[in-house]
Structure 1
Amino acid sequence: MQIITYEVDGDIKSTVQKPIYNESGEQIYFVQRIYDNGLKKLLDGYFDHRYFLKYAIHNNSGQTVFEVKKIFRRGKVWFEGKDLLSDEKYIINYENWRIGVPELFISSKDFKMKIDKEMEDWSNFIVNETVVARWVAVYNEEKDQFNMTFELSDEAPIQNVAFYIAIAQATLFIGV
C-alpha cells in the first residue's frame, strides 16, 4: 500500500503549487489549482471560485501529468479527468440523482469506480465493492490549510497516484 501526504490551502482562491510526498518523505508531484487565462479567473470570482479552474498534478520537472476540469454542457455538469501521459480520459459525475440517492462515479472505457465522498472521514474509491484507495482531508484552522492523506492499495486498477489526487482535490473543493 502506498501512503501519500500533502497540504493544500484552505483558501479556494489560491493557485500556489503544493508538494506531494510519498511514505518515505520524498517529493513526487505538485498539486495546483490553475486557470487557462485571466478572464476565466476573473469570472470564477463571481461564481465562488468553483467553475472555471482546473486541478493539475505536475511532476517534479514541472510537466503536467494529470488534470481535472469541470464541464458544463446543455444544462449538465460533470468533471473530465485526463492523463496527459497516456491521453486517457475519465468522466466523473453523479448517477442516480433523480431517484434521490446520488452516487459519484469515475468512468472510462475500461472500468467504473465509485467514490464514497465523506467530508469528515475517509472518502473511498471502490471497484466491485472493494475499497482500492481512500483519502482524508483534515482542516487545520490555525494554518487555514487541509492536511491530506491518501492511501492506494496494490489491487487498484489504476496505480497512478496523480489520477486519484486530482480527482480528490476537485471533488473536495468544487464538488460536482
Structure 2
Amino acid sequence: MKIYTYKHPENIEYTGEIAICNEMGETIAISKRVYNHAFQRMVDSIFDYRYFLKYHIEDRAGKQLFTVKKISRRGKLWFEGYDIQLNKKYVISYENWRIGIPTLYITDGDMKIQLEKEMEDWSKFIYNEQVIAEWKAEYMEGQFHMVLHIHDQSPIQKPEFFIAICQATLFVGA
C-alpha cells in the first residue's frame, strides 16, 4: 500500500500550492485550486466558494498531471476529471440522488469505481467489490490533515487521480 499526505488550510477557497508528500516526506506533487479569472473567483464568493470548483495536480516542476472541475447544467451536477498524461477523461457523478443518500461513481467508459463518502471516517474507493483506495481528512490546529492510501491491487496507482477527485468531491463537495 502506498501512503500520501498533505495539509490544507481550513478555508476551502485557498488557492495556494499544497505539497503532496509520500511516506518518506518527499514532495511528489502539488495540488491547487484554480480559477479561470478574478471575476469568476469574485462570483464564487457569493456561492460560498462551491460553484466554480477546479483543482489541478502538478508535478514538482509545475507540469500539470490531472485536473478536475465541477459542472452544473440544467439542474444536473457532476464532475469531470482529466488525466493529462493518458489523455483520458473521467466522469464523476451522483447516482440515486433523488432517493436518499447519493452514491458517487467514477467512470472512464470502461471501468466504474464507486466512492463511498464518509464525513468522519475513511472514504473508500471500491472497484470490483474491493477497496482500492481510501481517503480521510482530520481537522487539527487550524488545518485539515489529509491521508490517502492506495492499495496494491488498485488498477489506478496515480495519487493525482485520487487527490484531485477527493479535493473536489469530498473536501469542497457539491
Is the TM value for this pair above 0.5?
A: yes
Residue of structure 2 equivalent to 1:87: 87
Question: Post-superposition shift, 1:98?
Answer: 2.5
2 CA distance for matches of 1:100 and 1:146? 28
Residues 17 and 31 of structure 1 are in contact (CA less than 8 Å); yes or no, is this contact kept in structure 2? yes
TM-score, structure 1 as length reference: 0.95
TM-score, structure 2 as length reference: 0.96
Question: Post-superposition shift, 1:75?
Answer: 1.5
Asked if 1:41 is matched to 2:75, the reply is no
Question: How many residues align structurally?
Answer: 174
3-state SS of the aligned residue for 2:60?
Answer: coil
Give the counterpart letter for 1:98 in structure 2: R
2 CA distance for matches of 1:77 and 1:6? 27
Residues 83 and 89 of structure 2 are in contact (CA less than 8 Å); yes or no, is this contact kept in structure 1? yes
Identity over aligned residues, as a percent? 51
Give the counterpart letter for 2:156 in structure 1: I
2 CA distance for matches of 1:174 and 1:57? 16
> How well do the aligned residues superpose, as a CA RMSD in angstroms?
1.1
Mark the runs of 5 or more structure 1 residues left unpaired by the alignment. Answer: none
Mark the runs of 5 or more structure 2 residues left unpaired by the alignment. Answer: none
Asked if 1:150 is matched to 2:159, the reply is no
Listed as ranges, the matches of 1:125-140 within 5 Å are: 125-140=125-140
Give the counterpart letter for 2:13 in structure 1: K
1 CA distance for matches of 2:96 and 2:53? 26
Residue of structure 1 equivalent to 2:158: 160
2 CA distance for matches of 1:39 and 1:86? 32
- Stretches (4+) displaced over 4 A: none
Residues 96 and 102 of structure 1 are in contact (CA less than 8 Å); yes or no, is this contact kept in structure 2? yes
3-state SS of the aligned residue for 1:97?
Answer: coil
2 CA distance for matches of 1:109 and 1:93? 13
